[in-house]
Amino acid sequence: MHLTSLICRSRAPRWAAVVLLILAGAPAQARGARAGAITGQISGIAPVEMARLSFYLDGAPAQARLSRRGFRMRGVPPGTHSLAVLSPDGQRGAHVSAYVRAGRSTSVGTLDLAVGGQIAGLVSRIVEDGGLEPLPGVEVVAEPAATILSRRTHGDDPTDPVPNRLVAITDETGAYAFRAVPPGEWQVSVVVPGYTAGVEFVFVEPGRTAVADFILEPEIAPGVGTVEGVVTGADGNPIEGALVTVYAGSPYVPHGVSRRSLDHAWRKGRLGSVPPDLFLRQEFATLTDQEGYYRLNVPSGRLVVTASASGYEPAEQHVLLYPRETIRVDFQLSPVVEPAGGTVAGQVTDAETGTPIAGAIVTVAQPGLPPQSGRKSHPIRWEWTAITNEQGEFAIDAIPAGTWLLTVEAEGYYSSVSEVVVHEHETTVVQVYLQHGQRRH
């Protein structure tokens, strides 16, 4: 991943990552009578590697003049600047902040290049159709959690170099990375005009990467808009009576679960068909008419629209709705596909009295595999199990066509073992009679 910029402030020279970042946003090598300079020494690196160090000033690559006494960076505008220096392999670094005065040199002392961890991730935005688009050129800020707390308590002094502040700029793919980050808990944040701010907390360990991804939502003024559309089947015919539901409002995320992890799990399919936005506070629903048409007036913002109908697979879409806007969201539902295979159904009764046996265990498995030993000798084992109801009835669906072993067990009865033939899309009905006696294992 390409590191485009990095900003950091640190009192401890041990972690001064030699990357200079100018918060004022002025050119790194600005010329002028009021420009100042930053000087310092570097330790923790072999002399042969000195010439290959990477310097960054306020997120941009910068040049420094090296000598036996250390380094000197000229043409630095007055103000607070972040300096970062990275080793050739990017694994070691030092980060420090410096307050530069006009026409004067500011020394940052000795920067000891030490091994740190990495914070990396992607910054994306939600577009009109609900999809994701990378955000290049966005500033990402990382600060130690302890510094955030201290600043909230005592305020922020621009001349105080204590607070650490790292800054990276996303590349064309929306990716960013902070290298040689001191270990500990960090707050990573993204602020983009027109979008909700993103904040994540990560714990950095030496030699490891902490991931912080951001999905930014557009800031939409409160208001009401309209969602309308048509629900049809795969053949294009309208579906009457389809249920269309719109979830809107501010998302509710359970305590202890980050919104990023919830979004990530959902987009990776780890939450099944239930998106995290189903926790939204507001829900609006309607049924389609004879033409499959629906129309709903809902609050503006990020919406999840779902459609479902009997005999069809449900579908959902993510959209953005602005105040006084009407957007069209159509659905084409696919018919439910019946599971392959057939069904084994039947009843288990007492062989002497004919009384139904409830709670009997019915198992359909591969022939020739003992119930227990087969699991170890055959890593792939086809097996289905059901429990009989109060009437002694059971049913097992989606069994591939073929010959299978049917085993029935019940407390106080001998086990019953027999073969059953299953046909595709058919139901094989069996009647099982159990004899009283000690169950065999």
List, in order, residues 6 or more apart from 272 with CB less than 8 Å away. none
- What is the percent of the chain with per-residue pLDDT over 90, rounded to a whole number? 37
Q: What is the CATH number of domain 1-217?
A: 2.60.40.10
What count of other Cβ atoms lies within 10 Å of the Cβ of residue 101?
Answer: 12
C-alpha distances (whole Å) from 19 to each of 24, 136, 389 are: 15, 21, 71
The H-or-E segment that residue 141 falls in is strand 139-144
Range from 117-121, 179-183, 262-266 carrying the lowest mean pLDDT: 262-266
Tell me whether residue 279 is exposed, middle or buried, using C-beta atoms within 10 angstroms of its C-beta: 0 to 12, 13 to 18, 19 or more.
middle
**What is the per-residue pLDDT for 16?**
37
Lowest average pLDDT, out of 41-45, 107-111, 177-181, 408-412, goes to 41-45
- Alpha carbons within 13 angstroms on the beta-carbon side of residue 229 total 20
Q: What is the pLDDT of residues 137-188, one digit of tens each?
A: 998 988 887 776 555 554 555 445 445 788 888 999 999 999 889 899 999 9
Band of pLDDT at residue 210, cut at 50, 70 and 90:
very high
- pLDDT band at 237; cut points 50, 70, 90: very high
Domain ranges in the chain are 1-217, 224-333, 342-434
In this prediction, residue 91 carries a pLDDT of 82
Q: Given this model, what pLDDT does residue 82 score?
A: 78
In sequence order, the 6+-apart residues with CB closer than 8 A to the CB of 408 are 348, 360, 361, 362, 363, 415, 416, 417, 432, 434
Cβ atoms 23, 80 nearer than 8 A: yes
What pLDDT band is residue 278 in, cutting at 50, 70 and 90?
A: very low
Identical fold between 224-333 and 342-434: yes
Q: Is 50 exceeded by the pLDDT of residue 275?
A: no
Q: 254-258, 267-271, 276-280, 429-433 — which one is most confidently predicted on average?
A: 429-433
Please state which CATH number belongs to domain 224-333.
2.60.40.1120
CA dihedral over 236, 242, 244, 245, signed as positive or negative: negative
Mean pLDDT of 70-89: 86
CATH class of 342-434: mainly beta
What is the pLDDT averaged over residues 121-134?
A: 85
- Position 252 pLDDT exceeds 90: no
Model-level pTM?
0.51
Question: Quick check: 318 pLDDT over 70?
Answer: yes
